[in-house]
A and B are shown apart, each in its own frame.
Chain A
């Protein structure tokens, strides 16, 4: 019998709306939700069923049966697995206190449950991967606008000009956003793209700035200078909502387009022409403030400069600008019930909130637990539960991380796949794939808010469980059953929807519940109260940063040039992979089985490297080397080499991707401590590597 269900994709964390048809518990068709994205899906989305069939994933709970990382596992039943974890957690709690347990997750709309679990257990230590992703962008927005990076959505479709600094959006691939951008271009809109190399996104641009790595901030400062000089800003908006504009004018005086052009290696005329265009197009100009900006030592300030550019445009709550996301309340509707157990009043183990007061306490900063593991100050960290988060893949130097994690008495990995962290952990709990699991109802805020739901399309093929059931079972064993007042997903959904007046039936027609047919906009002249800063205004001079002894307007410092024979390592994404999650997927592995090292043609010539040669890429301290093919290209800056993140995996049960390509994070030796004191994120691109033609290139030929 053919069944059709609406759900939410889970091949990457964009979570596109989908519709799935099945027959006899097999997927026969899967497409993007016609009502929202017109059927569109990406390669990963179509490869979901191939993941289900892939037996190179954990098939049932596994307990370590050898040394950590030895790859020896004993299959156990779910009750045994739950007991194992609960017993260890109880012991750790009684010996060291509940705060010695950390839970990290991949974030997203369902994180409330994981966070509540650890709070109910008595620990304040919930964290996620964001210190290697969006933290700088988030904190920069908080410091200026008083709202985080999700405090705005971008109305790209109605914009006239989108400016992207290193945001390779057609490879990161958020379908709805991509459709908006292409629609904008079809309507004659402009796209300005800034990066150290040409990318798929840059191909679609109307203006391309190839900059020297690490100079984004300089280019943004040059743009601010010229925009202010030409008075291409919205002075009404600034008068009404912004403080510190005069100081900004004074500060950017020194950063002329001529200076920026020289610093970035671009043409001065191009910056000036760009500002001509901005003058024409404002306020419908969007400066995307970046996503994964955990890159350079000044990325936080670069992100602030991008936010400032938006402020100059006066584009907030304007069609074609930055829109404040609306929730149920804005539509005269009631929100859903959510499990939200407050954080216990104990100091966080990563220092956020007491040692580092200017950071958002929500998920803290994951990498700052490592020094605490070492020093046991303010208390020891003895257990780490990882919910689909892979610290070894996202943070630098997994070897060094191993030494820290080895101080823990319990390491738990809950994941659909084997993760590199999971492989080192004590116990792996296989979560069902997104097509085999239900998740709670979520609120999708935006100009047209809605409720969304992931609904399973299939019964699980292996002995795996949905996360709600895993946490519920652990909670029951730890005496926390009162916090999770449901026994089935149906009960949970019902409880969630109680205040709203809707029922699950309302999801059936389209897969979501629309809370407003029209775009909900605030009056742009009445935005007071939207900016949650100490002064209630957009603060170009941030009181919060000032209190932390940090400058709001930081002098530009030129990035180091790599020493001879070395290059700055820059990483990124491909449209066919979700980092390390998909590299072993049969169909996606077929498309892209390994990564390569992008290197500038002139730089390669000097090293005697030709396209397709094997090259050895070695960490700065020469302790780690990976070998990979060289992709010799014209359009990458000669100081940089680039690779797609997620490869170089060493999990023997993942045979397709085992040792395929190289891993950027393994090349980042000793870089765990190189993080941004102002923005909180790790500086993942402050890394130099040595590149040599590999001795593994064949030297001899036997045949003629």
Chain B
């Protein structure tokens, strides 16, 4: 079972796109790939105030990822705790994963010629920290949820 989840509290999010840059800065990504995305719906009036919903999307870390089996070098790996990540050593940048993913989540890093995607900042998580986007969210709207099995 997946152990982690990122949750966006839409009431606090101000659509500042900080999380997108926090992610890129942490992974030292060049212009191009973007591992998470803030989007908003068309404005509609609710109690005479035009409102919109903000959504946050990174990788879904699918229970049965489409991206992993297709990878010719087995670079796409799902960990015990559910995190789906790319072993950069093994990745050859063929982008088969992106084709297999229903949301085209993996992206090409033009500097390394390899695929990149959200890995829930597993190096940080393994060190007991929270992901970059969550830690630095401008308004503390993003939460890193660690799921517990109910016995």
Chain A residues within CB distance 8 Å of chain B: 29-32, 38-43, 45-47, 49-50, 170, 173, 175, 178-179, 182, 185-186, 198, 200, 202-208, 270, 575-576, 586-591, 633-635
Contacts and interface: CB of A to CB of B under 8 A. Distances in A.
Contact of A575 (B14, B24, B25, B43): B14
B100 interface: no
A591 to B, nearest CB: 6
B140 A40 contact: yes
B128 interface: no
B25 A49 contact: yes
Given A198-B43, A587-B24, A590-B31, A43 B18 contact: yes
Determine the main DSSP class of B at the interface with A. Answer: loop
Contacts of B51: 203
Given A40-B137, A173-B138, A591 B21 contact: yes
A170 B135 contact: no
A121 B11 CA distance: 53
A206 B48 CA distance: 9
Nearest to B53: A203
Given A42-B138, A186-B12, A576 B43 contact: no
B50 A46 contact: no
Most chain A CB atoms below 10 A, which of B48, B136, B140: B136
A45 B18 CA distance: 8
Given A41-B22, A46-B22, A586-B31, A208 B50 contact: yes
A575 B11 contact: no
A152 to B, nearest CB: 24
Given A43-B16, A590-B31, A31 B50 contact: no
B16 A587 contact: no
Contacts of B26: 29
Nearest to A16: B138
Most chain B CB atoms below 10 A, which of A41, A173, A589, A635: A41
A175 B16 CA distance: 11
Nearest to B30: A586
Contacts of A185: 11
A654 B139 CA distance: 32
Given A587-B25, A635-B43, A200 B139 contact: no
8 contacts: A32-B136, A39-B136, A41-B18, A43-B17, A47-B21, A202-B50, A203-B52, A590-B32
B1 interface: no
B49 interface: yes
A182 B43 contact: no
Given A46-B136, A179-B139, A587-B25, A634 B17 contact: no
Given A179-B140, A208-B50, A575-B14, 14 more contacts: A30-B25, A39-B135, A40-B136, A40-B137, A42-B138, A45-B136, A46-B21, A46-B22, A46-B25, A47-B21, A178-B138, A186-B12, A586-B31, A588-B21
